[in-house]
Amino acid sequence: MNLRVFVYGTLKPGGFYWPRYAEGKVTAHQPARTRGLLYHLPAGYPALTEGEGWARGTLLTLKDEAALAGFDELEGYRIGRPPEQNDYQRRKVECEDEHGNSLGPVWAYLMLPEKVREMGGIRIHADTWTGPPV
């Protein structure tokens, strides 16, 4: 299993959930980007959907599958559950470093556009989520 995950919100180093879900469970991290559209959700965290924009974040290399299972729990994703019942979908995406060099396929948590609308998502017209819009 590929234990590299692209994160773009509260799981980034310094993010709200970094200490609980990632600290000590990551062997490496680096700036990265992938294709998609970013949204801020009123609940206080971001969502990424498929799209032609760019989303900047961090590529994490996880120590083991237990760390990935913790991410799944946080993101409301359960393998085998119908997609509309998951908060996020864990999918393989192509990832690049900050210079545009391919980092290959990695996991990322994307949200279905219908779920973003249901949750009142606000489109972010930048490539980085930095918290609630001001």
Task: State what percent of residues in the chain have pLDDT above 90.
Answer: 94
Q: Is 19 exposed, middle or buried (0-12, 13-18, 19+ CB in 10 A)?
A: exposed
pLDDT in tens, 69-103: 999 999 999 999 999 999 999 999 999 999 999 99
Q: What is the pLDDT of residues 9-20, one digit of tens each?
A: 999 999 999 999
User: Any residues with CB less than 8 A from the CB of 99 and at least 6 apart, and which?
Assistant: none
What predicted TM-score, i.e. pTM, was given to this entire model? 0.95
Distance CA 120, CA 54 (A): 21
Burial class (CB in 10 A: 0-12, 13-18, 19+), 25: middle
Residue that is written with structure tokens 């973003």 in the block: 116
